[in-house]
């Protein structure tokens, strides 16, 4: 009977331990040695106030020289604004083509539109246009080793890459409930993702957009520790003061009653 109880106890402890450890593992339910296709085809969307670097290439370099000279002039300009600045209405001023609507489009969509316009208007017969974001950055705060603003090259960054650059989630971070704040054209979206489940790969937040904010919430244990560390001394001091005052009042009452 004793052996049976010991076996049951050990099994229960093992199951509890495994269940608690899953909170600290990334994509714990993902199958091992099994390909998992990521269906999330990502390309950064362009928003007002974004800064774009646009280059045009061709088999005939002379035909695109003017466009790249203008782009390089903007890119290497002094001051805070580099590249083509997207206006509040989502437009840019492109050489020869004039105003182009960039806001709300992906980089690939804008590149294709410029290519088509250059061909249609007879400027370049075989243009290849590349559009890059110069201001692609995200913010990581909360229970990470090093909260920071991350600037990404290539305009493509996953949530795991961002967390890695911030030193990873600490042992006190809640991996099952990571908050992502995303700024759109007219609004902000606040949502949570679970980094311990494989569904993260299909989430719209697996690939980050520029200006995303990632907030890693503390665990309940961490919140209690913070309360004890920050608030308990003040409560203790107030309680001691209250007890001293009460003692002085009671002592005074008893002293006066005995005196009478």
pLDDT tier, 75 (very low <50, low <70, confident <90, very high otherwise):
low
Residue with tokens 């782009």: 71
In the structure, how many helices (H) and strands (E) does the chain have? 6, 10
Q: Which of 132, 99, 93, 130 is nearest to 115 (CA)?
A: 130
> How does pLDDT run across 153-212, given as a tens digit for each residue?
767 899 999 999 999 999 999 999 999 999 876 778 899 999 999 999 999 999 999 999
Q: Looking at residues 213-225, what average pLDDT do you find?
A: 86
**pLDDT tens sequence across 78-104:** 455 568 999 999 999 999 999 999 999
| Architecture category of domain 51-133 in CATH | 2-Layer Sandwich (3.30)
Q: Residue 15 pLDDT > 50, yes or no?
A: no
CB burial of 228-238 (b: ≥16 within 10 Å; e: otherwise) equals: eeeeeeeeeee
Strands 173-183 and 213-218: antiparallel
Does 113 score more than 60 pLDDT? yes
Which residue would you say has higher pLDDT here, 255 or 85? 85
Name the nearest CA neighbour of 107 among 37, 162, 42, 21: 42
Residue 13: pLDDT band with limits 50, 70, 90: very low
Q: Report pLDDT for 23.
A: 62
Chain-centre distance for alpha carbon 43: 16
Higher pLDDT, 159 or 231: 159
Residue 254 DSSP symbol: H
Q: Which residue has the tokens 């949502």?
A: 191
The pLDDT-based confidence of 2 (bands split at 50, 70, 90) is very low
Residue 138 bridge partners (DSSP)? 150
Signed CA dihedral, 59, 65, 70, 74: sign only? positive
User: Which structure tokens are listed for 213?
Assistant: 């904010």
Pick the CATH number of 25-42+136-218 from 3.30.200.20, 2.40.50.140, 3.10.560.10, 3.40.50.970: 3.10.560.10
pLDDT number for residue 246: 54
Record the pTM.
Answer: 0.69
Instruction: Indicate the domain borders of the chain.
Output: 25-42+136-218, 51-133, 223-259
Residue 167, Ramachandran bin (φ over 0: left; ψ between -120 and 50: alpha; else beta): left
Averaged pLDDT, 245-255? 55
Please state the separation of Cα 63 from the chain's center in Å.
41
Query: pLDDT tens digits for 132-143?
Result: 898 899 999 999
Task: Give 42-62 pLDDT, tens digit per residue.
Answer: 788 899 989 999 999 999 999
Confidence of residue 33 (pLDDT cuts 50, 70, 90): low
- pLDDT for 139 equals 95
The answer, yes or no, to whether residue 29 has pLDDT greater than 70, is no
**For residues 43 and 136, is the Cβ–Cβ distance under 8 A?**
no
Higher pLDDT, 162 or 257: 162
Structure tokens at 183: 């700024």
């Amino acid at each position: 009977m004793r052996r049976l109880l010991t076996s049951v106890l050990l099994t229960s402890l093992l199951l509890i331990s495994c269940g608690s450890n899953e909170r600290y593992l990334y994509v714990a339910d993902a199958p091992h040695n099994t390909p998992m296709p990521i269906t999330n085809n990502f390309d950064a969307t362009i928003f007002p106030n974004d800064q774009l670097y646009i280059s045009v290439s061709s088999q005939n370099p002379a035909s695109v020289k003017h466009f790249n000279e203008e782009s390089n002039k903007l890119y290497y300009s002094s001051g805070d604004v580099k590249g083509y600045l997207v206006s509040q209405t989502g437009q840019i001023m492109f050489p020869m083509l004039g105003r182009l609507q960039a806001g709300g489009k992906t980089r690939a969509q804008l590149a294709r539109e410029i290519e088509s316009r250059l061909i249609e208007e007879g400027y370049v017969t075989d243009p290849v246009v590349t559009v890059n974001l110069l201001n692609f950055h995200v913010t990581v705060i909360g229970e990470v080793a090093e909260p920071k603003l991350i600037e990404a090259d290539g305009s493509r960054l996953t949530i795991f890459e961002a967390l890695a650059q911030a030193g990873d989630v600490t042992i006190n971070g809640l991996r099952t409930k990571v908050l992502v704040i995303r700024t759109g054209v007219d609004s902000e979206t606040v949502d949570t993702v679970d980094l311990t489940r494989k569904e993260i790969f299909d989430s719209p937040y697996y690939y980050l957009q520029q200006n995303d904010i990632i907030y890693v919430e503390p665990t309940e244990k961490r919140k209690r520790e913070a309360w004890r560390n920050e608030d308990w001394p003040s409560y203790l001091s107030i309680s001691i003061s209250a007890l001293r005052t009460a003692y002085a009042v009671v002592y005074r009452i008893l002293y006066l009653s005995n005196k009478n």
